[in-house]
């Protein structure tokens, strides 16, 4: 919990205790006043806590930043073990994937001009790793397997920042956009770099040669 919310929570607790003390002392009006302040502070905490909690799951977005690396190891026919490394934190996640291609989905938060004046910077969050099969799964021409999605975080409930609505406080302060990265082939031993640009995610092989250009979406 952030510092300001801790102060609001402490204020709500203190004013509740004061209201109880005033009530025991027979000072009914003073108790009612303190109880009203405690109720206002508690309501403010209930409204802002989910917003701040989910906001903490986002990272600062800087143009051209390297945000992730993926390394693929073959585990069988159309099966791969992918290691996703978040950057710059170095946090790693390992996934067992099925399919031929993969992509990363992210969400970006852009602040309003007034919010930027307060020092708020653009934010992003990696949300999903998606795979798909591009060829029939069997030699008899059967249908390709459906795409698979892997959540990259645990938002613990509906994220109020994912669908800001006009007229809502955070909807007026920020605009959330979904970013779908380009589809890439899963290749044994390949390592990919993922960068964040203004127009989306750009993916390139870690040791790419001059004849391979990064792909963006």
pLDDT of 68 reads 94
Asked whether residue 44 falls in the same domain as residue 114, the answer is no
Q: What is the pLDDT of residues 110-123, one digit of tens each?
A: 888 887 787 778 88
pLDDT of 211 reads 44
Query: Pick from 55, 76, 93: which residue ends a domain?
Result: 55
Q: What is the pLDDT of residues 7-51, one digit of tens each?
A: 767 777 888 888 888 788 888 888 888 788 888 877 777 766 666
- Residue whose C-alpha is closest to residue 108's, from 167, 163, 204, 177: 177
Question: How far is 30 from 35, CA to CA, in rounded Å?
Answer: 9
Q: Take residue 116 and report the two structure tokens written for it.
A: 């930027």
Question: How far is 157 from 56, CA to CA, in rounded Å?
Answer: 14
What pTM was computed for the model? 0.67
Domain, as residue range, for 175: 62-216
Asked whether residue 45 falls in the same domain as residue 128, the answer is no
Asked whether residue 123 falls in the same domain as residue 35, the answer is no
Query: Does position 163 have pLDDT exceeding 50, yes or no?
Result: yes
Asked whether residue 77 falls in the same domain as residue 151, the answer is yes
Q: What is the pLDDT of residues 56-80, one digit of tens each?
A: 778 887 878 899 999 999 998 889 9
Asked whether residue 39 falls in the same domain as residue 74, the answer is no
Q: Which helix (H) or strand (E) holds 80?
A: strand 79-86
Q: What is the pLDDT of residues 166-180, one digit of tens each?
A: 445 556 677 778 889
Asked whether residue 134 falls in the same domain as residue 187, the answer is yes
- Calculate the dihedral angle through the C-alpha atoms of 31, 42, 171, 58, rounding to the nearest 10 degrees: 150
Number of domain units in the chain = 2
Asked whether residue 93 falls in the same domain as residue 120, the answer is yes
Is the Cα dihedral 85, 212, 125, 114 positive or negative?
positive
Asked whether residue 207 falls in the same domain as residue 150, the answer is yes
């Amino acid at each position: 919990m952030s510092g300001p919310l801790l102060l609001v929570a402490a204020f709500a607790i203190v004013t509740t205790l004061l209201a109880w003390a005033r009530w025991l002392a027979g000072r009914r009006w003073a108790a009612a006043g303190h109880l009203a302040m405690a109720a206002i502070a508690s309501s403010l905490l209930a409204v802002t806590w989910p917003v701040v909690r989910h906001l903490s799951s986002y990272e600062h977005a800087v143009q051209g930043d390297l945000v992730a690396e993926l390394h693929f190891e073959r585990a069988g026919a159309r099966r791969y073990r992918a290691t996703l490394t978040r950057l710059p934190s170095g946090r790693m996640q390992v996934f067992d994937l099925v399919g031929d291609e993969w992509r990363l989905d992210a969400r970006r938060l852009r602040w309003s001009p007034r919010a930027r004046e307060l020092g708020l910077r653009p934010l992003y969050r990696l949300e999903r790793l998606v795979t798909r099969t591009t060829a029939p799964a069997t030699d008899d021409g059967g249908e390709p397997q459906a795409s698979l999605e892997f959540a990259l975080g645990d938002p613990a409930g509906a994220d109020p920042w994912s669908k800001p609505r006009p007229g809502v406080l955070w909807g007026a302060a920020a605009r959330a956009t979904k970013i779908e990265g380009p589809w890439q082939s899963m290749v044994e031993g390949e390592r990919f770099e993922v960068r964040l640009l203004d127009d989306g995610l750009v993916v390139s092989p870690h040791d790419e040669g001059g004849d391979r250009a990064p792909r963006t979406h």
